Amino acid sequence: MTISFELASLRTRANGVCELCSSVGSGLPYAIAPLDDGTAAHSVLVCEACFAQLDGKAQLESNRWFCLQQSIWSEHAPIQVLSWRIANRLRNESWARDLLDQVYLDAELLAWAQGGSESESVESSVETPTVDSFGTKLSEGDSVTLIKDLDVKGAGFVAKRGTIVKAIHLTDNPEHVEGRVNGTVIVLKTGFLKKA
Ligand SMILES: [Zn+2]
């Protein structure tokens, strides 16, 4: 399919630079599927180097896409959407993930950004819940019971099976919570706990 682009409008908007990385040059029009009708509202003018990476199969070079940290904040919807998509393909990189967390696209733009591309799961950022040994979800401040004796290394005591630990504190690790036993805050493995 040949798309006839509104090149004049794109060039005016781009003002002589790549709309993604700001490198100077005439630029190539890139249409953003699935709204690839060639209008400036649905296209971005990019340099050859950026264009070459926009093929869905290309291996993206993370380092050259730091420019997204600027372009994703563009006032122009297609530039935002394309930047979001590239960042999403790079979401294994922490900087790209941070950027996606910071940026806000309204519902319509987000649907466009998520559509038409290889729809990688956006929900991969959902955190693993912390659960006890029976699979019951544990929340900050819950009370739990130890289901076996725990030799608390370094503290010199054994936390007895059946001990109730109040007001647990969740950690970044879903397999660990913190709780106070015998006046000492210790890390407890969730596999040895039962929600009280
Ligand atoms: Zn570029």
- Per residue in 98-126, pLDDT tens? 999 999 899 999 999 988 544 444 444 45
Dist. CA 130 → ligand 1 center (Å): 43
Region 15-37: mean pLDDT is 92
CATH of 144-195, one of 2.30.30.40, 3.90.1150.10, 3.40.1180.10, 2.40.50.100: 2.30.30.40
Q: How far apart are CA 120 and CA 107, in angstroms?
A: 18
pLDDT band at 56 (very low <50, low <70, confident <90, very high): low
Residues 6+ apart with CB under 8 A from 42: 31, 32, 35, 36, 78
* Distance from Cα 19 to the centre of ligand 1, integer Å: 7
Task: Compute, in angstroms, the gap from residue 107 CA to the centroid of ligand 1.
Answer: 27
- Give me the residue spans of the domains in the chain: 7-125, 144-195
Asked if residue 14 has pLDDT above 60, the reply is yes
Between the CA of 31 and the centroid of ligand 1 the distance, in Å, is 15
Residue 82 pLDDT class (50, 70, 90 cuts)? very high
Share above pLDDT 70 across residues of the chain, in percent, rounded to a whole number = 93
Q: 35 pLDDT band (50/70/90 cuts)?
A: confident
What is the 20 CA–ligand 1 centroid distance (Å)? 5
Looking at the DSSP assignment, which residues form a beta bridge with residue 75?
A: none
Please state whether the predicted TM-score (pTM) of the whole model is above 0.75.
Answer: no
Query: What Å distances lie between residue 157 and 2, 122, 150, 161, 180, CA to CA?
Result: 75, 45, 9, 13, 13
* Ligand 1 geometric centre to CA of 74 (Å): 14
The CA distance from 54 to 31, in Å, is 10
Worst-scoring range by mean pLDDT, 13-17, 138-142, 150-154, 191-195?
150-154
Q: What is the mean pLDDT of residues 51-77?
A: 90
Rounded average pLDDT over 17-22: 96
Given a cut of 80, whether residue 136 has pLDDT beyond it is: yes
Task: State in Å: Cα 38 to ligand 1 middle.
Answer: 19
Query: How far is the centre of ligand 1, averaged over its atoms, from the C-alpha of 174 (Å)?
Result: 41
User: Using 50, 70 and 90 to split pLDDT, how confident is the model at 1?
Assistant: low
